[in-house]
Chains A and B, each alone.
Chain A
Amino acid sequence: MNRLAILLGVAVASIGLAVGAASAQQITGAGASFPNPVYQKWGEAAQKAIGLQLNYQSVGSGAGMTQARNRTVDFGASDAPMSPALLAEHKLLQFPTVMGSLVAIVNIPGVDDNQMKMTGELLADIYMGKITKWNDPRLVEMNRGLSLPNLAIAPVYRADGSGTTFVWVTYLSAVSPEWKDKVGVGTSVKWPAGTGARGNEGVAGTVRNTRGAIGYVENAYAVQNKLVSTQLRNRAGNFVIASHEAFLAAADNADWNAPNFAANLVDQQGAKSWPIVSPTFILLPMDPKDATRSANVMKFFDWAFANGNKLAEELEYIPLPKAVQDAVRATWKVNVKGPDGKPVM
């Protein structure tokens, strides 16, 4: 497989080189599909503004990590942070670019957007197959104002390995020791119950088609498709509605000083914090073969941090706090060195 990956990578890279020869301002990246819309948007805008052309391929976080390791692209992208050991081994610098949030979506007759109250513990029990009816006493107790029907709960999950799943099960593990014990965290896990669907659109479609279904999608997707989201109880014990303020509150309360910026934004402190927020990461070689291209990658994200926040918000992403963006800029200057040993940026 390694050989196949290299071959593919070489093919991609050689296309990149061929185009790069024509206009030297081309940069290539590959990986996570979750930030793909905002990277594409930034790419379009940056080409007009600073003449940098981004060629980003949304091939999945796992493939993004592989390509970054093999140096077949200028940068890799991943929703799940890479382990510190692997980062060191492959001389990769990891930094966040933007944040996203997940919401739980439901299809229950008579329940509208943001009406249903839900907790992480109950979500974990639903996805474990322990709560199987919508009129379960624990759900009814929490939702006094709603009349919940005697209807089987149909949990829907992402069947394809995905960063979205990684964030979702990170949250379930954070709030449910049993989930952490029995299922754990990964881009795909051994689901104890429910049905799988392919991609965000697959999950949304299955939830829409199935009476009694519950699923999870990125907030951007839920907003654009007018899906029925639930409230969630955060760590402080308050029920919050998925909103920009709630996402920002989570970001403000996070500890961004974690090694390699692998900040944990899930189940954050704060009265207003939305509990399922997550950054997405870039993996950049610290020993680039081509210093110019590497510098262009950093220029691109420098431009995006300075000018791309509004574009990100339009797509329902959450820009990084200013302090984090500055910390990322600082780490570029220190850690990415060209063949001559001098900082690239």
Chain B
Amino acid sequence: MSSSAISPPGHLATAPRKSGSTGDRIFSGLCHGAGVFVLILLGAIIIELFIGGLPAFRAFGIGFVWGDNWDPVAEEFGAIVPIYGTIVTSVMALALAVPIAFGIAYFLTEIAPVPMRQPVGTAIELLAAVPSIIYGMWGFFVIVPVMAQYVQPALIDSIGELPLIGVLFAGPPFGTGIFTAALILAIMIIPFIAATMRDVFRTVPPVFKESAYGLGCTRWEVMWNIVIPYTRRSVVGGIMLGLGRALGETLAVTFVIGNANRIATSVFAPGNTIASLVALEFGEAEADSLKLSALLALGFILFVLSFIVLAISRFLLRPPAGQ
């Protein structure tokens, strides 16, 4: 480096530089420490969960992952029902949330009048800060009765009677169940996805869009042919972040999913997710019991699932090569 050539020699200039370099060393040491601490913490959690879950993995082998029996009385445990519930609710939530989040983001970056953009954007970010217990209680006391009294009876009596797709909408109208859980999850992840999308839509250089408009493109064509291709990676990454949150969400889901350890064909049937099952059963799981081990093994599986989702989102959100 040629910094010595620029800075004039003299103790007035060197003295602060010396103390500065000590400070730099301390600061860099602290930062390294913090970075390593996170790694150690992450590793410790994974290892601890795995060791805790080891008796369950030993007892049931790898079949624990796709066993469909959860019988605390006979001490037989399998993870596929909560794994299935976790993935189905999360994917359904994404299917509901992505179009709405996309609409919000596009509205805020392209259509909304400028004075309106900031307040609405802030409101979206505030929604992301609502604690999940609030969504859970709101879901249980407001959404579930509406689902039980109006939405589900209507759907069960109409679509539920049809052949083939009827089985998807059959059963008693509890109000709770996979579909309600997915609905609540969708509402919870919309702010995340919308905020990410809005931020990446803003990164599209105006000159691209203006050129397209200049050629006579409609808004939809600009969106589909300019904005989406330019931001595709980041949009998918944002969706994956939402998926990550949906996978691990506990309290809100526990309230509305119906908590049954069965796989049903109907979307109105109760189910369970990994996080919800662990939260519910933990208090009654005795020390050193196989049940406790099975719950920790479930925690490990959820960790791996979330890790995969996060890794994919990191991969997609990385800056494109050459920029």
Contact = CB atoms under 8 A, between A and B. Distances in A.
Contacts of A161: 72, 280-281, 283-285
Interface in B258-281: 258-261, 270, 272, 280-281
Given A195-B260, A209-B145, A160 B176 contact: no
B201 interface: no
B280 A160 contact: yes
Interface in A185-207: 185-191, 194-198, 202, 205-206
A224 interface: no
Interface string A1-24: 110010000000000000000000
Interface string A42-79: 00000000000000000111110110011000000000
B169 interface: no
Nearest to A3: B48
A336 to B, nearest CB: 23
Contacts of A190: 69-74, 261
Contact of B270 (A63, A186, A196, A211): A196
A1 B140 CA distance: 31
Contact of B284 (A62, A183, A195): A62
A28 interface: no
B255 A198 contact: yes
B172 interface: yes
Interface string B245-264: 00000000011001111000
B176 A59 contact: no
Interface of A is mostly: loop
A264 to B, nearest CB: 18
B182 interface: no
Contacts, number: 115
Contacts of B148: 209-211
Contacts of B71: 189-190
B173 A1 contact: no
A153 interface: yes
Contacts of B270: 194-196
A250 B74 CA distance: 30
A71 to B, nearest CB: 12
Interface string B174-213: 1111000000000000000000000000000000000000
A67 to B, nearest CB: 9
18 contacts: A1-B288, A1-B292, A5-B287, A65-B286, A152-B171, A156-B174, A159-B280, A183-B73, A187-B72, A190-B72, A194-B270, A195-B259, A196-B258, A196-B259, A196-B270, A197-B258, A209-B175, A212-B172
Given A185-B73, A186-B72, A196-B280, 12 more contacts: A65-B286, A69-B287, A152-B171, A159-B259, A161-B283, A186-B73, A190-B70, A195-B260, A197-B176, A209-B148, A210-B174, A212-B172
